[in-house]
Structure 1
Amino acid sequence: MPCGALLGLCTVLAACAGAWHPAHPAVSVLLIGPVLACARLGVRATLGTAAWALALAVAVGVVRRADAGPQLVVEYLVLLVGCLAAVRIARVSAARSTRLRQLGAVAQATQAALLRPVDARFGDIDVHTRHHCAVASATVGGDVYAVADTPYGLRVFIGDVRGHGLDAVCVNAAVADGFRDLAYVTADLTELAGRLDARIAPALGPEDFVTAVFAEFAPGEVRLVNCGHPPPLRMGARPKFLDPVTCSLPLGLGCAPAQSRYWLQSGDRLLLYTDGLVEARDGQGREFPLFERAHKALSQALPWEALDELYAQVTAHTGGPLRDDMAMVLCESGVAGTPPGPGRPVTVKHRTADAS
């Protein structure tokens, strides 16, 4: 409600309080204006409405001077105390809103630092990442990914922390830092998942958990540990969702990690993603058909163009901005010694097989 409308409402109420006799409303009815301003507008609007209500109350008192008495004095006191309370509440609410905006900005900056874009070649594997925030969201999402070029081979992690906001950012930081620390000193991928689970436990609340996929690249294959996360999609001669042989609960819920191994031939692409991709819905509530749409998108010549095309298809499916965050990591198996392709500079570089 605009401030002018509230001033007009106060004026009407004051006219009723001054004109109707003997059953006129109490002067304290003017408190409606400041209360509405406090609930819907800022401090300045509340101050202005309160001052206008008090001025009108004085005018009503002049009109009703013959009725002046203890009852009118009580009405003035109620109005005055109510106006002061409304201004106080408006100030507290404004301070809280400012604080929340500041905390949100800090959280977004922290998440941006955690989710630094990766466009780099590690041995014979090209890695490219994307993270898209939900435009309509006022909070920070729980998507997280990390890349580590270790003595055991290139390792990639992608996860989704339950929840949003500052708590999710804190867990994100614990997960990303824990993965980068442990990936260089833990030889076995399942042991890496188990140790990360134990490491982040103190940062998780009673109902918190993290779905995750750990990928380790070796010549001709990729090893995966999936802890309750959507399965990666391998695009090549035979496109396939790489479902885990043994299912595991997410991190934080007593995960029992098991490793699966899959062929990865030269030119194959492996897409790791969060559920914001597959759970994007159109106007009729249908989820994004990743398997059907991925062939066109991921067949783009350059990996970063493939990710851009896939995101364009998702937003075309939803008909507008996404309602959830979405992270994607695209890994392409190439030939060692060949350049990663023209058109995009390398920006960041961080330091079992089926028959199908």
Structure 2
Amino acid sequence: MREWEQRGERMSADGGGGGHVRTGFSWLMLVPPAACLLVALPHLVDHRVPSLVTLLLIGPLLACVRFGVRCTLLVCAWAAALGLATDLGDDAVAGFGFGVRFGGLLLGCAVTVHAAGRGERLTAALARSREVARVTQEAVLRPISRTLDGTQVCTRYHCSADESTVGGDLYDVAVTPYGLRVLVGDVRGHGLDALRLTAETITGFRELAYTAPDLPSLADSLDTRLTPELGPEDFVTALLAEFAPGEVRLVNCGHPAPLRSGRSIEFLEPKVPSPPLGLRPDPRQYRVRLQPGDRLLLYTDGLAEGRDPEGIPFPLLGEAALALREPLPEDALSTLHDRLLQHTGAPLADDLALVLCQPVEATVPARVR
């Protein structure tokens, strides 16, 4: 992906986080009222110490930043009570100075309550957005763990963006008259634009996979459909697979080569590389034999480009060989994902899509006499 990003940039040259509202009791809730008490205590103990009524706003401010409206109201009431208590023994209780100080305190309390309410609304809106993103992921990137047209398919997806569950990596499958077809791709970039192109690519695949007579035609049709939607620096790497008895047919448009695991493990590189969709691809199909028990791992560059804190790349071939020994496909993908996290030593900085395919009965087709 990075190589194609650099090429896309050359072609183009030629042509907040918010606060958290907590619910339930927490010991941290004692901090705002304690702050108010610390401000008022010196004057309560010794009236010769100047009264600092306006500084009592520290408590409500802390409450509105960290907690909700209810907690902020309680702290405001506590601050107002302390504000009255600090001047109860003074002769200036009804005086002009006290009125200014206490009025300023009440006004500040009202502002903090309003801010806390707005924070709660923003938090609720964020929760709704995350729920929409979750539902969108299930609709756009359907989790799969089942046998389709004689091939067992299992998927795993990770989005690096905290605010979303759908990123620029994508996959989809279709049981067509030509056999099971699988798409794995990677949209350049992140954010809403990448999400839009992800949805557009998957939608195009679902519409075209059933009618395109072969994978090169399918790749050409996808490129024609996506090109008007792409900006000058946008592109989509794509790997298309079509399963037939005893073999898999592949078209690779600028995507990391898949892995075949069986008696040995190897990358299935195309003989003639092709640019990604949107960069004038030249899709060419190549075929690979599948022996009984062989597995095919399709993935995005979030797996191949994972690095440890010292910058050492993830040893994909060796780690995949170990992980794919797991009998169950779900366990194999979980093991591979866990080993990647152990290698990076931190949450993944890139999106990741994994698709593991294993023909249930892979047999070599008979020769035509």
**Which category of TM-score, normalised to the shorter sequence, fits these structures?**
0.7 to 0.9
**Is 1:182 the counterpart of 2:230 in the alignment?**
no
Question: Structure 2 vs 1, CA of residues 16 and 68 (structure 1 numbering), >3 Å: closer, same or farther?
Answer: farther
Determine the C-alpha separation between the residues in 1 that align with 2:332 and 2:53: 68
Q: Percent identity over the alignment?
A: 45
Matches within 5 A, 1:59-74: 59-66=85-92, 69-74=95-100
Give, in angstroms, the shift of residue 96 of structure 1: 1.2
Q: Which deviates more from structure 2 when the two are superposed, residues 311-320 or residues 189-198?
A: 311-320
Give, in angstroms, the shift of residue 73 of structure 1: 2.1
Q: Name the residue aligned to 2:143.
A: 116
Say if 1:140 and 1:166, in contact at 8 Å, map to a contact too: no
One-letter code of the match for 1:128?
A: V
Q: Name the residue aligned to 2:259.
A: 233
One-letter code of the match for 1:29?
A: L
Say if 2:180 and 2:243, in contact at 8 Å, map to a contact too: yes
**Is 1:6 the counterpart of 2:38 in the alignment?**
no
Say if 1:140 and 1:169, in contact at 8 Å, map to a contact too: no
One-letter code of the match for 2:324?
A: L
Determine the C-alpha separation between the residues in 1 that align with 2:361 and 2:302: 32
Say if 1:225 and 1:257, in contact at 8 Å, map to a contact too: no
Q: Name the residue aligned to 1:344.
A: none
Say if 1:274 and 1:327, in contact at 8 Å, map to a contact too: yes
Matches within 5 A, 1:219-258: 221-236=247-262, 239-244=265-270, 245-249=272-276, 251=277, 254=279, 256-258=281-283
RMSD value, Cα? 3.6
Determine the C-alpha separation between the residues in 2 that align with 1:65 and 1:227: 84
Give, in angstroms, the shift of residue 308 of structure 1: 4.4
One-letter code of the match for 2:78?
A: W
Unpaired segments of 5 or more residues in structure 1? 339-356
Secondary structure of 1:66's partner? coil
Matches within 5 A, 1:96-115: 96-113=122-139, 114-115=141-142
**Match for residue 51 of structure 1 among 68, 73, 77:** 77
Determine the C-alpha separation between the residues in 1 that align with 2:160 and 2:222: 31
Give, in angstroms, the shift of residue 129 of structure 1: 1.6
Determine the C-alpha separation between the residues in 2 that align with 1:254 and 1:95: 44
- The TM-score, its normalising length taken from structure 2, stands at 0.75
Question: Structure 2 vs 1, CA of residues 8 and 121 (structure 1 numbering), >3 Å: closer, same or farther?
Answer: closer
Secondary structure of 1:187's partner? coil
Determine the C-alpha separation between the residues in 1 that align with 2:330 and 2:88: 75
Say if 1:227 and 1:255, in contact at 8 Å, map to a contact too: no
- The TM-score, its normalising length taken from structure 1, stands at 0.77
Q: Name the residue aligned to 1:141.
A: 166
Q: Name the residue aligned to 2:118.
A: 92
One-letter code of the match for 1:115?
A: R
Say if 1:3 and 1:49, in contact at 8 Å, map to a contact too: no
1:294-330 CA distance string (max 9 Å, x none): 2233244554554344345435545687565533212
Give, in angstroms, the shift of residue 7 of structure 1: 0.8
Determine the C-alpha separation between the residues in 1 that align with 2:325 and 2:196: 36
Question: Structure 2 vs 1, CA of residues 336 and 246 (structure 1 numbering), >3 Å: closer, same or farther?
Answer: closer
Q: Which deviates more from structure 2 when the two are superposed, residues 56-65 or residues 15-24?
A: 15-24
1:18-60 CA distance string (max 9 Å, x none): 6677772542111111111111122222111111111111112
Give, in angstroms, the shift of residue 179 of structure 1: 0.7
